[in-house]
């Protein structure tokens, strides 16, 4: 039986995406995404934020770099992947990332004292990038 490696996240960017290109010319975008859980504990409202390392490739990476900025909300689908390498001292290092294949831009940019209308003009993609909108679970 084959395994399933699928991640769905909805959160806010912790920093602007960084766009680089591989020696072969493929675009690679990386950024952090925060997901926040709100709950009550002992009658007190609590909040816990989890940070995720995100990576996207190709046209998806270029569109993410163009439209997503720090504080912006998005819906992501992808898979968990762990990379390893040896640092300068020969110590094995690991990094776990979410490799994105579908992105949906949500809401508007976070700005102080303004509402999030989601109005970004007609240049922004209205469909998920890299996938089909019918896959959305909500």
Residue 16 has pLDDT above 80, yes or no: yes
What percentage of the chain reaches a pLDDT higher than 90?
70
Q: How confident is the model at residue 133 (pLDDT cuts 50, 70, 90)?
A: very low
Residue 27 has pLDDT above 80, yes or no: yes
The whole-number pLDDT of residue 63 equals: 93
Residues 6+ apart with CB under 8 A from 17: 29, 30, 31, 61, 64, 65, 68, 69
Residue 23 has pLDDT above 90, yes or no: yes
- Asked if residue 22 lies in contact with residue 28, where contact means CB atoms within 8 angstroms, the answer is yes
Kindly list the structural domains of the chain, giving each domain's residue range(s) and its CATH number in brackets, ordered by start: 7-121 (2.40.50.140)
The DSSP symbol for 63 reads: H
Which of 4-8, 67-71, 98-102, 106-110 shows the lowest mean pLDDT across its residues?
106-110
Residue 7 has pLDDT above 80, yes or no: yes
Residues 6+ apart with CB under 8 A from 120: 67, 105, 108, 109
The whole-number pLDDT of residue 32 equals: 96
The whole-number pLDDT of residue 130 equals: 58
The whole-number pLDDT of residue 109 equals: 52
Residue-wise pLDDT for 110-128, tens only, equals 443 333 333 333 344 444 5
- Asked if residue 95 lies in contact with residue 80, where contact means CB atoms within 8 angstroms, the answer is no
The residue whose two tokens read 């002992």 is: 42
Instruction: Quote the pTM value.
Output: 0.73
Residues 6+ apart with CB under 8 A from 65: 17, 19, 27, 29
How far, rounded to the nearest angstrom, does the alpha carbon of residue 57 sit from its chain's CA centroid?
12
Q: Which of 31, 32, 84, 34 is nearest to 61 (CA)?
A: 31
**Stretch 38-47: mean pLDDT:** 90
**CA torsion through residues 14, 129, 81, 55, sign:** negative
């Amino acid at each position: 039986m084959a395994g399933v490696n699928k991640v769905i996240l909805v959160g806010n960017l912790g920093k602007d995406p960084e766009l680089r290109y591989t020696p072969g010319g493929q675009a690679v975008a990386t950024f952090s995404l925060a997901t926040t859980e709100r709950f009550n504990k002992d009658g007190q409202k609590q909040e816990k934020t989890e940070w995720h390392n995100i990576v996207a490739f190709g046209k998806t990476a270029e569109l993410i770099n163009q439209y997503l900025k720090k504080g912006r909300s998005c819906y992501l689908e992808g898979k968990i992947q762990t990379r390893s390498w040896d640092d300068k001292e020969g110590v094995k290092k690991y990094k776990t990332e979410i490799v994105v294949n579908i992105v949906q831009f949500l809401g508007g940019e976070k700005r102080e004292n303004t509402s999030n209308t989601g109005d970004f003009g007609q240049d922004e993609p209205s469909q998920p990038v890299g996938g089909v909108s019918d896959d959305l679970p909500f």
